[in-house]
């Protein structure tokens, strides 16, 4: 994370324009237009223009994410755009942004987090059920190995099936009866005005969320002091502390989309509590622990938790997963 730059030190030329990079998906655009609006309010003399790009993850919709790799699936094209001076900064769902960024780029700001939890969305015929009362064999759609492993651990009697596509596509498949339920992010549903589809917010005892889930990460060139100072205007300090701990935890474990890693963070004044989990792909083994410390030492806490889990058996789980991925 970059150090804050005083916004007041920024001097803009008249009619200065800054270009914002975004994926083309409906959710990505809603998030990007929100960032655009927030910046426009704070800098009325600057023109913030949105430029859209298609990423590899947007183009490959018939293959499970875990089978096509996880390094920059939804960010690489946007990052190239920044490095090539085509755009000034990019808005990402922070959970999609790798913990190790390309040389020359930095995570400039993190916005206030929405509810990071996972949600159960059900077919009409299951409106009287919760996750723990769904009938045996019910087909649950998810494209996340993190969600899959945790749900397999708690509900081995359910059937799980991969689901890809944008939110409307997934919900259409659910409503058509292809699935009995879906597991989706609460934040995404709420941002798209679909909060009424949330049937149950899954408790952390069932599903720890993805690193950075619910927050937006804004990436820019590391040497662009002017843009860095602008983006600091929408930085949310407590969210930053939480996600710095989470991202340090993930980075220390060298995990990504192909590894079932979940987190939960709480901030009480200046005390940060971080819970993390590593699970086997089949959900039969699950290692979980919690650390607490000063928020200003967020990254150290993330590293400490990762080391704790390695000592408790996470290392063996990770090695088995990496071998499985290499074979496939």
The predicted-structure confidence for 13-29, as pLDDT tens digits, reads as follows: 555 899 999 999 999 99
Q: Is 184 within a domain?
A: yes
Same-domain pairing of 82 and 220: yes
- Binning the chain into helix, strand and coil, the percentages to the nearest 5 are 40, 25, 35
Q: What is the model's pTM?
A: 0.89
More confident residue, 318 or 215: 215
Reply yes or no on whether 96 is catalytic.
yes
Q: Is 206 within a domain?
A: no
pLDDT at 60: 43
The two tokens of residue 239 are: 């969210």
Same-domain pairing of 288 and 183: no
pLDDT in tens, 90-144: 999 999 899 999 999 999 999 999 999 999 999 999 999 999 999 999 999 998 9
Same-domain pairing of 157 and 175: yes
Q: Is 208 within a domain?
A: no
Q: Is 62 within a domain?
A: yes
8 A C-beta contact, residue 158 and residue 142:
no
pLDDT in tens, 250-259: 999 986 556 8
Same-domain pairing of 26 and 60: yes
Catalytic-labelled residue, pool 70, 96, 241, 289: 96
Same-domain pairing of 8 and 35: yes
* All residues at 6 or more sequence positions from 277 whose CB lies less than 8 Å from its CB, including other chains: 150, 208, 260, 261, 262, 263, 286, 287, 288, 309
Same-domain pairing of 219 and 88: yes
Give the neighbor-by-neighbor strand order of the sheet with 216-221.
47-53, 17-23, 89-93, 216-221, 105-110
- 260: CATH: 3.30.160.40
Residue 2: pLDDT band with limits 50, 70, 90: very low
Q: Is 209 within a domain?
A: no
Same-domain pairing of 127 and 184: yes
> Pseudo-torsion of CA 257, 185, 302, 78, nearest 10°?
60
Same-domain pairing of 98 and 152: no
Considering the chain, what percentage of its residues have pLDDT values greater than 70?
A: 87
Sign, CA dihedral 197-202-207-209, equals positive
Pairing of strands 105-110, 118-122: unpaired
Q: What is the tally of structural domains in the chain? A: 3
Q: In three state form, how does the secondary structure of 158-222 look?
A: CEEECCCCCHHHHHHHHHCCCCCEEEEEHHHHHHCCCHHHCCEECCCCCCCECCCCCCEEEEEEC
Same-domain pairing of 123 and 240: no
pLDDT at 194: 96
Q: Is 96 within a domain?
A: yes
Pairing of strands 139-141, 261-268: unpaired
Parent domain of 174: 118-201
pLDDT at 74: 62
pLDDT in tens, 56-101: 544 444 444 444 445 555 688 999 999 999 999 999 999 989 999 9
* All residues at 6 or more sequence positions from 121 whose CB lies less than 8 Å from its CB, including other chains: 171, 174, 181, 182, 183, 184, 189, 197, 198, 199
pLDDT in tens, 256-288: 556 899 999 999 999 999 999 999 999 999 999
Same-domain pairing of 219 and 77: yes
Q: What average pLDDT does the structure give for the chain? A: 89
Q: Is 207 within a domain?
A: no
Give, to the nearest 10 degrees, the angle between helix 167-175 and helix 26-42. 140
Same-domain pairing of 1 and 82: yes
- 151: CATH: 3.40.190.10
Q: Is 226 within a domain?
A: yes
Same-domain pairing of 1 and 127: no
More confident residue, 47 or 325: 47
Task: State the average pLDDT over residues 296-324.
Answer: 93
pLDDT at 76: 87
Residue 326: pLDDT band with limits 50, 70, 90: low
pLDDT in tens, 217-236: 999 999 999 999 999 999 99
Give, to the nearest 10 degrees, the angle between helix 237-253 and helix 298-309. 30
């Amino acid at each position: 994370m970059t150090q804050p730059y005083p916004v007041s030190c920024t001097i803009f030329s008249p009619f200065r324009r800054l270009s914002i990079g975004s994926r083309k998906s409906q959710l990505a655009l809603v998030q990007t237009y929100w960032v655009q609006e927030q910046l426009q309010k704070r800098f009325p003399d600057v023109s913030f223009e949105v430029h859209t790009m298609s990423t590899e993850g947007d183009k490959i919709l018939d293959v499970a994410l875990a089978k096509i790799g996880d390094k920059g699936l939804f960010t690489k094209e946007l990052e190239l755009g920044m490095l090539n001076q085509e755009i000034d900064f990019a808005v990402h769902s922070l959970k999609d942004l790798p913990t190790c960024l390309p040389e020359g780029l930095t995570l400039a700001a993190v916005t206030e987090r929405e509810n990071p939890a996972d949600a159960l969305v059900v077919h009409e015929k299951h409106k009287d059920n919760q996750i723990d009362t769904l009938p045996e064999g019910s087909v649950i759609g998810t494209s996340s190995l993190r969600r899959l492993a945790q749900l397999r651990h708690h509900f081995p009697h359910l059937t799980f099936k991969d689901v890809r596509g944008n939110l409307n596509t997934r919900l259409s498949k659910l409503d058509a009866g292809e699935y009995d339920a879906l597991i989706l992010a609460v934040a995404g549903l709420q941002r798209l005005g679909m909060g009424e589809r949330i049937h149950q917010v899954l408790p952390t005892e069932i599903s720890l969320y993805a690193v950075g889930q619910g927050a937006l990460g804004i990436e820019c060139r590391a040497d662009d002091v002017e843009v860095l100072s602008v983006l600091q205007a929408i930085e949310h300090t407590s969210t930053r502390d939480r996600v710095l701990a989470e991202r340090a935890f993930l980075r220390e474990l060298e995990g990504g989309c192909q590894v079932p890693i979940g987190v939960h963070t709480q901030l009480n004044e200046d005390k940060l509590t971080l819970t993390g989990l590593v699970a086997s792909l089949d959900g039969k083994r699950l290692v979980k622990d919690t650390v607490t410390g000063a928020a200003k030492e967020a990254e150290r806490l993330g590293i400490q938790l990762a080391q704790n889990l390695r000592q408790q058996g996470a290392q063996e789980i990770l090695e088995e997963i990496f071998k499985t991925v290499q074979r496939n």
